[in-house]
Amino acid sequence: MPPRVDEDMPSRVASGGPASIVRYLAEKKALDVFERIRERRPPGALDDNPGAAPGDAPERLPHLLVAADTIVWCDRLIGKPADELDAFLALSSYRNRAHEVWSGVSLVDLATGDTDTFAVCTRVTMGDYSDDDIWRYIREERPFDKAGSYAIQSSWGAHVISVDGDYENVIGFPWPVVKAHLIPLLKNVARRELPERTREWAARMGVRPTKVSVGSARKRWGSCKQDGGIRYTWRIMLGNERLVDYLVVHELAHLKQMNHSKRFWAVVEAALPDFKARRKELRALYNSIESEGWG
């Protein structure tokens, strides 16, 4: 959702330097979208979801909102260029020196409004290049949608001597840092939503777990104990609602069959006729999480 905000800021923010500026802009964007979402869908409210497929529980899981803003700082704030001359002046200012790429990121739990806003800085050192090099780049690659007037992954990257910090931040989004900040929020979502989701499905399946908890297991999505206790890993929140529902149904089915016999899978299928497709998707999610190195 594109934010509907201008980038004006109080003088106290502008005088605070690049970290203050990007944090302010990211949070301004986040709060604008957050308020618009709240007007459209009150946090925690059940959706009508008239198009839900058979076997789907009401859509209830909240989402995490991610807003970001990136600038370049080289003695001054440099955003996206207004025109060719603006781009030329920006690229000229980096010649034979270092500049900083700053990103502000604001993460919002849409159900609670809890916000985590932070700034990430990467220092980029450029080598020598001619005015002709600059004009050729501007006219061939038209970098008018790029903060700082260049994309490091483009041909302009040939002029970069060194990158000190997160390279992905220079591309435009500091994903490794964001990922670390997302984990606590995802854990909170899991602790709030998985017990509720389990109660909803337990009522539909005619079972009653004794306890529902959330942990950080890496090799197992969930487990069901002989005493009726069910435990999930927060990592399931990296999946979509189809996969959350499959995991919940799978563990609740163990309250009827504590094994993976044909009778067990019949219980799962009665709740989710397309369980095989969901199970396949869950395996793909596991592989994706492992390859992306989630902690």
Confidence of residue 197 (pLDDT cuts 50, 70, 90): very high
**Catalytic amino acids?**
69
Judge if 205 and 165 occupy the same domain.
no
CATH classification at residue 147: 3.90.950.10
Integer angstrom CA distances of residue 224 from 141, 230, 231, 270:
56, 5, 7, 19
Judge if 49 and 145 occupy the same domain.
yes
How far is 88 from 94, CA to CA, in rounded Å?
A: 10
Is 184 within a domain?
Answer: no
The parent domain of residue 198 ranges over 192-292
Is 183 within a domain?
Answer: no
Judge if 165 and 242 occupy the same domain.
no
Query: What pLDDT is stored for residue 213 in this prediction?
Result: 97
The whole-chain average pLDDT of the chain stands at 91
The answer, yes or no, to whether residue 255 has pLDDT greater than 70, is: yes
Residue 103 in contact with residue 120, Cβ under 8 Å?
yes
Is 125 within a domain?
Answer: yes
Domain boundary among 173, 205, 239: 173
pLDDT-above-90 percentage for the chain: 82
Domain boundary among 111, 141, 173: 173
How far is 50 from 13, CA to CA, in rounded Å?
A: 46
Highest mean pLDDT out of 113-117, 238-242, 279-283: 279-283
Judge if 81 and 42 occupy the same domain.
yes
Is 81 within a domain?
Answer: yes
Judge if 120 and 254 occupy the same domain.
no
Judge if 141 and 55 occupy the same domain.
yes
214: buried, middle or exposed (CB in 10 Å: 19+, 13-18, 0-12)? buried
Amino acid, single-letter form, for residue 140:
E
The answer, yes or no, to whether residue 45 has pLDDT greater than 50, is: no
How far is 174 from 177, CA to CA, in rounded Å?
A: 6
Confidence of residue 60 (pLDDT cuts 50, 70, 90): low
Q: Indicate the range of 60-64, 175-179, 246-250 predicted with least confidence.
A: 60-64
Judge if 77 and 200 occupy the same domain.
no
pLDDT-above-70 percentage for the chain: 92
The answer, yes or no, to whether residue 220 has pLDDT greater than 90, is: yes
Residue 42 in contact with residue 2, Cβ under 8 Å?
no
The answer, yes or no, to whether residue 111 has pLDDT greater than 90, is: no
Judge if 147 and 213 occupy the same domain.
no
Amino acid, single-letter form, for residue 204:
R
How many other C-beta atoms lie within 10 A of the C-beta of residue 274?
15
Judge if 39 and 140 occupy the same domain.
yes
The answer, yes or no, to whether residue 62 has pLDDT greater than 60, is: no
Is 178 within a domain?
Answer: no
Query: What pLDDT is stored for residue 292 in this prediction?
Result: 87
Query: What pLDDT is stored for residue 150 in this prediction?
Result: 96
Confidence of residue 39 (pLDDT cuts 50, 70, 90): confident
Judge if 73 and 216 occupy the same domain.
no
CATH classification at residue 225: 3.30.2010.10
Domain boundary among 138, 173, 208: 173
Instruction: State pLDDT tens for residues 140-172.
Output: 999 999 999 999 999 999 999 999 999 999 998
Judge if 266 and 123 occupy the same domain.
no
Total count of domains within the chain: 2
Judge if 151 and 216 occupy the same domain.
no
